[in-house]
Amino acid sequence: MTKNLMFLVVICMFSFVNFGCTDTKEAEKLASSPSAEPAIEAVVPISSELEAPKWIEGTHYNIISDEVSEKKEVVEYFSFWCPACYRFEPIVNRIKSGLAEDVSFRKVHVNFMSFTTPEIQDEATKAMLVARQMGNENLLNAAIFAHIHEQGKKIESMNDLKQLFISYDISEADFNRRLNDTALSDELSQNNNEIIKFKEHVKSVPNIIVNGKYQATFTREMTTIQDIVDLVNWLGQQD
């Protein structure tokens, strides 16, 4: 692959990163449009491990809380219905694989998108949490994304989600048992409480918050996925 072609591939991958999906229908349409222009600023990547960090508050990240989480973690706020979130998944996988051993990764599924009702979005959150309990979260998240964005199918009830799980050889009885477990209700409440906690800062997705304190900002001059990985990993080491 020539250098010019590689550059074009990278630019195409990053054209959606900082735009994302909001809770308004107009912005959602723009997010899925090839002509959408993201709001992007400048970034100075880390070029050497010996070099002092050059990520700048207000440019590459924002401080959104005075308190840091007990454990180091990267949390991605996303929606299965969001086209930008679907396209962001390959970058999410790189972020997860590039994190330090003491930093965990977790997804929070939002319920404020206007593609469908909050109730259906909560059902999808429950399905994600069931998959997490089963240790199949990555597989089933990918299946839900594909169901919506590749196959063009709708999710209108928990039964639609259940059938999707069954198609991946997940036991219906096991799915139902976990779905009706009190623990799942607690996990759903925790998921939605995190949406409420950062509602002033998470108005679009995908959105990444690190250690409960730092909100990552991805910009046009971040021309490689490694730039994003480096920024998020660096934030993960901050107190």
Q: What is the CA radius of gyration of the chain?
A: 18
Count other C-beta atoms under 10 Å from residue 126's C-beta.
20
pLDDT score of 216:
97
From 15-24, 62-71, 167-176, 227-236, the region with the lowest mean pLDDT:
15-24
Looking up residue 201, the CATH number of its domain turns out to be 3.40.30.10
pLDDT band at 2 (very low <50, low <70, confident <90, very high): very low
pLDDT score of 9:
37
Q: How far is 181 from 188, CA to CA, in rounded Å?
A: 11
Q: Which residues contact 161 (CB under 8 A, 6 or more apart)?
A: 123, 124, 127, 144, 155
pLDDT band at 30 (very low <50, low <70, confident <90, very high): very low
pLDDT score of 26:
43
Mean pLDDT calculated for residue range 1-20:
44
Task: Check whether 170 has a pLDDT greater than 50.
Answer: yes
Give the residue among 214, 156, 202, 218 at the shortest CA–CA distance from 22. Answer: 202
Triad 86, 88, 92: Cα angle to 5°: 120
Q: How far is 213 from 235, CA to CA, in rounded Å?
A: 9
pLDDT score of 54:
79
pLDDT in tens, 33-52: 444 444 434 444 444 455 65
Residue 114 DSSP SS3 = coil
From 17-31, 84-98, 190-204, the region with the lowest mean pLDDT:
17-31
Task: Check whether 135 has a pLDDT greater than 80.
Answer: yes
Mean pLDDT calculated for residue range 185-193:
97
Average pLDDT, the chain: 85
Which residue type does 225 have?
I
Tokens of 132: 């997490």
Task: Check whether 62 has a pLDDT greater than 80.
Answer: yes
Give the residue among 226, 207, 225 at the shortest CA–CA distance from 217. Answer: 207
Mean pLDDT calculated for residue range 211-228:
90
Which of 180 and 19 is assigned the larger pLDDT?
Answer: 180
Count of structural domains, the chain: 1
Q: How far is 223 from 11, CA to CA, in rounded Å?
A: 7
What letter does residue 66 receive in the DSSP assignment? S
Which domain, by its residues, includes 183? 3-236
Mean pLDDT calculated for residue range 148-157:
97
pLDDT score of 222:
79
pLDDT score of 125:
98
- The long-range contacts involving 27-32, CB below 8 angstroms and separated by at least 24 positions, are 27/204, 28/82, 28/83, 28/113, 28/114, 28/115, 31/82, 31/83, 31/84, 32/83, 32/84
Per cent of the chain over pLDDT 90 is 73
